Amino acid sequence: MRTVMRIHLPVLLFVACAAVARLGHAQQIAVQIDSDAPVHVVASDISGMPHQKISVDVHGKTVSYEGVPLRLVLEKAGMVFGDSMHSKRNSSYLLVEAADGYRVVFALPELDPAFTDRVILLADRADGHPLDNKEGPFHIVVPGEKRMARWVRQVTSLKVVQAP
């Protein structure tokens, strides 16, 4: 019995440490503007930002998501939108990455209120509750798109990249 415990204890400790590290990593998003060092935006930063609520149809069911406009998260890391966004920046794009390796892109004007009235949301709540582990802690919600291919669950990083 003691031999079995000696063998399994290191394995259990490794698994527990890995789970804690994953949980800590999952509660933040690395935001990188061009080649600058990434800024880590944590859950408490996002919960302290002004939230919006949008109701959307998800596979025939209305879901009410709450979160912050994705633009605000990028601004927190130093991104500039509006009149200060020049033509060079209009050829940049946002690469969004998820914990499972899924990746999508958005043209920066899609996020800029000077170009569009649509708000792309970085949600942290659905129907009044924090997002579950399958969706969250952060989920990109893109209202008005016919397909949900750019609705990214478990967002881990946002990278602004200049197109070549």
Report the CATH number that the domain containing residue 127 is assigned in CATH.
Answer: 3.90.420.10
Q: Please report the pLDDT score of residue 27 as a whole number.
A: 85
Q: What is the mean pLDDT of residues 120-135?
A: 95
Q: Is residue 18 part of a domain?
A: no
Q: Is residue 73 part of a domain?
A: yes
Q: Is residue 17 part of a domain?
A: no
Q: Is residue 22 part of a domain?
A: no
| Residues forming beta bridges with residue 122, ordered by sequence position | 68, 140
Q: Please report the pLDDT score of residue 82 as a whole number.
A: 79
Q: Is residue 93 part of a domain?
A: yes
Tally of structural domains, the chain: 1
Q: What is the mean pLDDT of residues 69-79?
A: 94
Side-chain half-sphere exposure of 35, counting CA atoms within 13 A: 1
Range of the domain at 67: 28-162
pLDDT band at 131 (very low <50, low <70, confident <90, very high): very high
Q: Is residue 20 part of a domain?
A: no
Within the chain, residue ranges assigned H as helices are 2-26, 43-47, 70-76
Distance between CA 102 and CA 29 in Å, rounded?
15
φ, ψ for residue 25, nearest 5 deg = -65, -35
Q: Is residue 13 part of a domain?
A: no
pLDDT band at 86 (very low <50, low <70, confident <90, very high): low
Rounded mean pLDDT of the chain?
Answer: 85
φ, ψ for residue 54, nearest 5 deg = -135, 145
Strands 92-98 and 61-69: unpaired
- Residues making up the chain, counted from first to last: 164
pLDDT tens digits for 92-127? 899 999 999 999 999 999 999 988 999 999 999 999
Non-local (6+) Cβ contacts of 72 within 8 A are 49, 50
Distance between CA 55 and CA 63 in Å, rounded?
5
DSSP annotation of 110: G
Q: Is residue 146 part of a domain?
A: yes
Q: Please report the pLDDT score of residue 69 as a whole number.
A: 97
